Structure 1
Amino acid sequence: MNRDLALDKLKNHDEPFDFVIIGGGATGLGCAVDAASRGHSVALIEMADFAQATSSRSTKLVHGGVRYLKQGNVSLVLEALKERGRLCENAPHLVSHQAFIVPIYSWWEGPFYGIGMKVYDMLAGRLGLEPSENLSREETLERIPTLEKDGLLGGVIYYDGQFDDSRLAVNLAQTIFDQGGIAINYVKAVGLEKEAGIISGVECEDIETNEHFHIRAKAVINATGVFTDSVRHLDDPSAQTMIAASQGVHLVLPKEFVPGDAAVMVPHTTDGRVLFAVPWHEHVVVGTTDTPLDHIDLEPRALEEEIDFILANAAQYLARDPQRSDVLSVFAGLRPLVKSGGSGNTAAISRDHTIVVADSGLVTICGGKWTTYRKMAEDCIDHAELIAGLEQRPCVTAELKIHGHTDAPATDHPLMSLYGSDSVDIHAGNAAHPEHAAQLHPDLPYTVGEVHWAVKHEMARKAEDVLARRMRALFLNAQAAHDSAQTVAEILAGELGKSVGWAEAEAQRFRKLANGYRVTPEHPQRD
């Protein structure tokens, strides 16, 4: 992916695109892949970086949703389990099977959760992973020796999927290009153009240069997540808001808190949500919260009470109580939930996706979750073809292999497999330039060559793009990411033709950002 070439194609496209998609998160990227793979001309614009908001801040699970089954939403679970299976097949370099153990401390919990997980298995059908089963106390502690032993009776083990969210986003952007489409970051939609009241294009601003330009389109799709209403108001300032933001916070702990390969699923917390402690990239991700927020921000921050909530609930199930000083990183994301009946409880608001077509023809899709992004995109493009007056073409993404797909991932360092088939080229680059094989930071499993790759081939433009989303350094160890800023900024400057002064300013900007991902024993640091 080359941003300069993509920008030139956007500005000089002679005919209207079939679709212009606003939003480069899971939903927008999925829509662009779907449309391009049907043979439509597609342009996707993202005001920040791909997956910079909600789509890089998930619990890292590809799952049917155990708690939705408990709520009786069988249709949502069925759809998600089907999509989980497809994603495992289409992106095996990014999606893996993950064992989850529900620890049992009351006699009635064993049969209750054991039966529930068997239903979960049954709903997955042929796309299921491995069957659930009951575990004895000894078997449970063998899999997770750090569980609270006092009162432990046993456990129930079941299987779901795990993935790297922003790496999948990058691969989806690459897939758009593979299918003949265009995707670009740091281009913002600042206006919607109309002819006779019908949307005919988008006024864009290149965030890097402040230059404005126009893209014509037969249909425009608004897939901007928590920013959905902002784009709808470009179309109709009087449009009623439809998004209720819910903040989810995760803490990242050292691997020693949950050693081995099994995750912990806590079925009930003090606020009624489930809590996960999941091994991920040789660390442990613990979360999440569900806090209604009125203010929508591209860079949300964890609240004091959210950090305390996660630590307190995790302590009930872990033999060693995690402290603030153990937290390597804290990250927050905003869920774009669709309002229903004015409910103030975001845990009760629909997680299903919603598609709305305005009188102007603007197609808005919102809600949903990463696991079902492909089905959301299929539904959206089916609608958008009608709005654009285009030939109805069948969706082909159910079996479309995502960029990087390989059944033989690299194993030379723990995270190189995430590049899939591209790892061969990264190795070749490191071999040609031995200095690229050097480790970026002693506490991070990344090489200098991966920074060069991110800039050259994955459209990384800032230190944050590299350290937060092409690599996951900021999410794994905020201090180590902070300390890597200067090296990364200098590589960016060299690849992008920027000055030494630009590199220094970019490193400082990232260090300020990284401070917000660190937690002190007293309080989380702010910018």
Structure 2
Amino acid sequence: MKENEPNSQFFKRELFLEEVKNHAAAWDMIVIGGGATGLGVALDAASRGFKTLLLEQADFAKGTSSRSTKLVHGGVRYLAQGDIKLVYEALYERGLLLQNAPHLVNIQSFVIPNYTWWNEMLYGVGLTVYDLMAGRYRFNKTSLLSGKKVARLLPNIQARGLKGGVQYFDGQFDDARLALNLAQTCAEQGGVLLNYMPVVSLLKDSNGKVAGVKAKDLESGQEYQIKAKTVVNATGVFVNEVLEMNAPAQPPLVRPSQGVHVVLDSSFLAGDNALMIPKTPDGRVLFVVPWHKHLLVGTTDTPLDQNSLEPRALEQEIDFILETAGQYLVRKPSRKDVLSVFAGLRPLAAPTKNTNSTKEISRSHKLLVAPSNLITITGGKWTTYRRMAQDTVDQAIALGILPQKPCVTATLKVHGFAAPQTKSEHLSIYGADRTFIQALVKRFPELGQPLHERFPNLAAEVVWATRNEMARTVEDVLARRMRILFLDARAAMDMAPEVARLMAEELGHGEDWQHQQLEDFMALAANYLLEPYTPARKASTPLLSYKN
């Protein structure tokens, strides 16, 4: 089956594996980690003309980078803490993201309801300064609101004692989709990327310098020894593990902090405006943000001592979110209202003194060069991924490992770049690629079948994700390509059988693969629910083959 699809010629795992097998010379750079930071570094290096390979232990953005609050922001909280440099940097990068990926990033209105006059003045002045710091990348102007205006913008807000409010504007995006589009952009620039290819050890030369990696393909079990001029450790909360490969028993560089989000039906906060609670009883910031026609509520900030690709929300975190949101909403959400709950781990630079407060742990990114020349980049946040990448590649150049070449990513359009479409059209998130999905449906009308009665997603999207977006598992599709697991875990479980059938046909797998995929996904998805799962409908009839 032949389609005129732009991705199909270069963004395929099989082709990337062949290139790794056939590339005998040393790569200019190997990047370990396929989250926001690693993808940014790989894209920066490839776009400068360096021969670049990225290796990810699971799927792209499987960890922290798909579990954010979906905000592209300067960080109002960091301004309040006096971290002016970080806010300036993030606001600049926010502007570049809106410029380079308008199909994924949009301007979002936020409203802070004030129940005391003092708060209105305090937040009004602070957010006006926040606007001015953005300079020419400033979004819409901050304004003070009357209590009546707040009630109109947030129809479900608690009105008793409401004095007024502040409206400001920040960025919102789909994190996992941006990660995938960065991977595709990297491939367009000549980069090679492999998911499900963990690095198991580092290779060193006779002088003790890192000279490559040993990696294992989880699908075939085959191991590869891959030479490189420089290796970058961009593994987020897992940086300590790679540092241990380089020099055992060294102090940890990062400490994880867990952030939890719950997802509710959009009826809890009608309209398009987000609610921002600037100071919860324990000093946190909480957001209630419209996202893909649902409400994302979070986040928490809980220091942890262990890493995991699938962290679990703590009961006290869930209770905190529901109770705090309930203080501001007319209709108080309960556990039975939660459609999905997910947790992510932030890689925060470890403090030099004993502390259990994440407020004392840096959000700024850190670069570390080991005596072996292993480069580690950690900390930071999604909004500043591009600057983190630029600094990392510049560091490799400064070490004399790579030749001087300028960074070009400030003006590089992200794959799928297209003028913003109406957000009511769900295929708009694919940007320019949406026309190819529509063409697939036109040629094979059966692929225009919706996967679930509560969602507009089509069977064609599963085929597209498998063929052109390197999705290898049911989880890859439902969690990170279409985001259903993060929006409504029950709906994702309902969709899973049909997704498995479509993927099996596309990948050439049999029934045993389908059964194993379903077993794995159902076990995973159950962790996103607070109540036991019972199928909402019978499994759908398998689609007829769409292939010639």
- TM-score for the superposition, normalised by structure 2: 0.94
Aligned partner of 1:349 in structure 2 is 361
Distance 2:422 2:390 in 1: 32
Aligned partner of 2:377 in structure 1 is 365
Which residue, 83, 86, 111 being the options, matches 1:76? 86
Deviations 1:116-175 (A, max 9, x none): 111001101100110000011111111111000111111100000000000000000000
- Structure 1 contact 218–388 (Cα < 8 Å) conserved: no
Distance 2:350 2:420 in 1: 43
Which residue, 101, 124, 130 being the options, matches 2:111? 101
Distance 1:438 1:495 in 2: 17
- Please tell me whether residue 416 in structure 1 is matched to residue 436 in structure 2: no
Distance 1:194 1:409 in 2: 50
Deviation at 1:341, TM superposition (A): 2.0
Which residue, 199, 213, 216 being the options, matches 2:224? 213
Aligned partner of 2:102 in structure 1 is 92
Distance 1:309 1:348 in 2: 22
Aligned partner of 1:176 in structure 2 is 186
- Please tell me whether residue 233 in structure 1 is matched to residue 244 in structure 2: yes
Distance 1:224 1:450 in 2: 29
Deviation at 1:519, TM superposition (A): 1.2
Aligned partner of 1:185 in structure 2 is 195
- Structure 2 contact 478–484 (Cα < 8 Å) conserved: yes
**Which amino acid counterpart does residue 190 of structure 1 have in structure 2?**
V
Deviation at 1:408, TM superposition (A): 4.7
Aligned partner of 1:387 in structure 2 is 399
Which residue, 138, 141, 145 being the options, matches 2:155? 145
- Structure 1 contact 41–180 (Cα < 8 Å) conserved: yes
Deviations 1:272-328 (A, max 9, x none): 011000000000000000111111111001000000000111011111111111100
Total equivalences in the alignment: 521
Q: Which secondary structure does the structure 2 equivalent of 1:108 belong to? A: helix
**Which amino acid counterpart does residue 518 of structure 2 have in structure 1?**
A
Q: Which secondary structure does the structure 2 equivalent of 1:244 belong to? A: strand
Aligned partner of 1:17 in structure 2 is 27
Deviation at 1:489, TM superposition (A): 0.9
- Structure 2 contact 351–360 (Cα < 8 Å) conserved: no
Q: Which secondary structure does the structure 2 equivalent of 1:469 belong to? A: helix
Aligned partner of 1:302 in structure 2 is 313
**Which amino acid counterpart does residue 361 of structure 1 have in structure 2?**
N
- Please tell me whether residue 377 in structure 1 is matched to residue 389 in structure 2: yes
Aligned partner of 2:39 in structure 1 is 29
Deviations 1:394-419 (A, max 9, x none): 111011000000115376x5321110
Aligned partner of 2:74 in structure 1 is 64
**Which amino acid counterpart does residue 311 of structure 1 have in structure 2?**
L
Q: Which secondary structure does the structure 2 equivalent of 1:159 belong to? A: strand
- Please tell me whether residue 263 in structure 1 is matched to residue 274 in structure 2: yes
Aligned partner of 1:330 in structure 2 is 341
**Which amino acid counterpart does residue 462 of structure 1 have in structure 2?**
T
Q: Which secondary structure does the structure 2 equivalent of 1:69 belong to? A: helix
Aligned partner of 2:471 in structure 1 is 460
Deviation at 1:462, TM superposition (A): 0.2
Distance 1:461 1:410 in 2: 30
Deviation at 1:344, TM superposition (A): 1.8
- Structure 1 contact 410–420 (Cα < 8 Å) conserved: no
Aligned partner of 1:524 in structure 2 is none
Deviation at 1:108, TM superposition (A): 0.7
Moved more, 182-191 or 385-394: 385-394
Q: Unaligned 5+ residue runs, structure 1?
A: 522-527
Distance 1:63 1:258 in 2: 22
Distance 1:11 1:123 in 2: 49
Aligned partner of 2:457 in structure 1 is 446
Q: Which secondary structure does the structure 2 equivalent of 1:515 belong to? A: helix
Moved more, 210-219 or 158-167: 210-219
Which residue, 505, 510, 513 being the options, matches 1:494? 505
Distance 2:422 2:225 in 1: 42
- Structure 1 contact 410–416 (Cα < 8 Å) conserved: no
Distance 1:408 1:76 in 2: 28
**Which amino acid counterpart does residue 123 of structure 2 have in structure 1?**
Y
- Please tell me whether residue 506 in structure 1 is matched to residue 517 in structure 2: yes
Distance 2:327 2:361 in 1: 28
Distance 2:422 2:468 in 1: 19
Deviation at 1:346, TM superposition (A): 1.4
Distance 1:239 1:310 in 2: 36
Distance 1:348 1:127 in 2: 30
Deviation at 1:505, TM superposition (A): 1.3
- Structure 2 contact 257–346 (Cα < 8 Å) conserved: yes
Deviation at 1:384, TM superposition (A): 1.5
**Which amino acid counterpart does residue 307 of structure 2 have in structure 1?**
I
Deviation at 1:387, TM superposition (A): 3.5
- Please tell me whether residue 202 in structure 1 is matched to residue 213 in structure 2: yes
Aligned partner of 1:525 in structure 2 is none
Deviation at 1:507, TM superposition (A): 1.2
**Which amino acid counterpart does residue 368 of structure 1 have in structure 2?**
G
**Which amino acid counterpart does residue 376 of structure 1 have in structure 2?**
M
Deviations 1:451-490 (A, max 9, x none): 0000000000000000000010000000000111111111
- Structure 1 contact 219–387 (Cα < 8 Å) conserved: no
- Please tell me whether residue 429 in structure 1 is matched to residue 440 in structure 2: yes
Distance 1:360 1:408 in 2: 46
Distance 2:195 2:116 in 1: 51
Structure 1 pair 27–146 and aligned structure 2 pair: CA distance change class (3 A): same
Distance 1:408 1:327 in 2: 30
Deviations 1:208-233 (A, max 9, x none): 12110111100000000000000111
Report the aligned-residue RMSD: 1.2
- Structure 1 contact 11–214 (Cα < 8 Å) conserved: no
Which residue, 101, 115, 134 being the options, matches 1:124? 134
Deviation at 1:114, TM superposition (A): 0.6
Moved more, 391-400 or 338-347: 338-347
Distance 2:363 2:20 in 1: 34
- Please tell me whether residue 45 in structure 1 is matched to residue 55 in structure 2: yes
Deviation at 1:10, TM superposition (A): 1.1
Q: Unaligned 5+ residue runs, structure 2?
A: 1-10, 533-548
**Which amino acid counterpart does residue 93 of structure 2 have in structure 1?**
E
- TM-score for the superposition, normalised by structure 1: 0.97
- Structure 1 contact 18–388 (Cα < 8 Å) conserved: no
- Structure 1 contact 281–414 (Cα < 8 Å) conserved: no
- Structure 1 contact 409–421 (Cα < 8 Å) conserved: no
Distance 1:288 1:270 in 2: 14
